[in-house]
Amino acid sequence: MTRLLFGFSANRRIVGGLLVNLFSSICIVFINKWIYVHYGFPNMTLTLIHFVVTWLGLYICQKMDIFCPKSLPVRRIMWLALSFCGFVAFTNLSLQNNSIGTYQLAKVMTTPVIILIQTTYYKKTFSTKIKLTLVPITLGVILNSYYDVRFNLLGTVFATLGVLVTSLYQVWVGAKQHELQVNSMQLLYYQAPLSSAVLLGIIPLFEPLAGDGGIFGPWSLTALVAVLFSGVVAFLVNLSIYWIIGNTSAVTYNMFGHFKFCITLIGGYLLFQDPLSLNQALGILCTLAGILSYTHFKLLEQEEGKSRLAQKP
């Protein structure tokens, strides 16, 4: 009975973390879109501000005794910080040099690459059933975006690098929490300022420093308030990402990412009357079928694992 209650409580916490990530992720998409369209705020600088606000939020949390910081050697998390910066840079370059369809198609390849990395380097095993759930998900994304898929050499290079670095980043987020015996807040508390420092060094290569649209441009008070608010929402997004990966896995977080993609498309159709073709509707159904199958098989495997543990003397 105690085990049953503990399992229910753990699943409820995971569902709660997923919901926080869902609502904050959707919210930040619309806030960032508003900031880009109405104020033209530079993309990578906004990301830098997000991580600075995330660190400030964590600093306040530790002062309120919500978590206790753990001393970590910088060299142990430097690759994690660098991979985050690479993920931001290559994802932006991929979006800049590819069509939306090609960009989305590249993003879906993150899941099989994560499985490959975890199988090859971390000796983690995935059942055939879990691997087969990738088929309807990939097919769904292709149906959603094939009409807009166009390849060029430079865009393909950036998309490939983006997939590799993003996969490594997400794997390391989970691996470092277990390796260093820290929780999501403790790890993010150290990684956020490191990533901010690295981003501060590479931003001038991608974005202007002064003038209209520059980092130190003449921004209005309303623009700065909107940017600060997006930073607060980003704090919830970043923290929930680390929490989800640390308490489930990078693959589960990716599957949830595909679900958010479907919700965004449906939301755009219902709220903003964005066009939704038959192929896109079929793509959404395929993707959701793959996600539901993954969830079903994953829960079955967890129950089988608990049963084997319970049977041991």
Give pLDDT tens digits for 178-229: 888 988 888 889 888 998 898 888 888 877 877 666 677 778 889 889 999 9
137 part of a folded domain? yes
53 part of a folded domain? yes
| pLDDT at site 228 | 92
| pLDDT at site 168 | 92
Q: Is the pLDDT of residue 101 over 70?
A: no
Q: Is the pLDDT of residue 313 over 60?
A: no
As a whole-number percent, the residues of the chain with pLDDT over 70 amount to 84
Residue 311 — pLDDT band, cuts 50, 70, 90? low
Element (H, E) at 262: helix 250-272
| pLDDT at site 246 | 81
How does DSSP classify residue 287? H
57 part of a folded domain? yes
**Rounded distance, CA 78 to CA 73, Å?**
9
| pLDDT at site 268 | 67
**Rounded distance, CA 197 to CA 211, Å?**
23
Q: Is the pLDDT of residue 294 over 70?
A: yes
216 part of a folded domain? no
**Nearest-CA neighbor of 28 among 185, 241, 235?**
235
**Nearest-CA neighbor of 199 among 42, 58, 72, 70?**
42
Higher pLDDT, 249 or 272: 249
Least confident of 84-88, 111-115, 224-228: 84-88
Q: Is the pLDDT of residue 19 over 80?
A: yes
**Rounded distance, CA 146 to CA 50, Å?**
32
Q: Are 112 and 190 in contact (CB under 8 A)?
A: no
Q: Is the pLDDT of residue 2 over 70?
A: no
**Nearest-CA neighbor of 87 among 26, 170, 18, 24?**
170
Domain count, the chain: 1
308 part of a folded domain? no
4 part of a folded domain? no
**Nearest-CA neighbor of 310 among 9, 4, 11, 5?**
4
Residue 3 — pLDDT band, cuts 50, 70, 90? very low
Q: Which domain holds residue 269?
A: 38-207+221-301
pLDDT digits (tens, 9 = 90+) for 142-161: 776 666 556 678 888 888 89
Quote the pTM value. 0.75
**Nearest-CA neighbor of 95 among 35, 164, 155, 28?**
155
Crossing angle of helices 250-272 and 153-179, in 10° steps, is 120
267 part of a folded domain? yes
Structure tokens at 61: 């949390």
Q: Is the pLDDT of residue 106 over 90?
A: no
Q: Is the pLDDT of residue 56 over 90?
A: yes
| pLDDT at site 1 | 35
**Rounded distance, CA 258 to CA 127, Å?**
20
Q: Are 202 and 85 in contact (CB under 8 A)?
A: yes
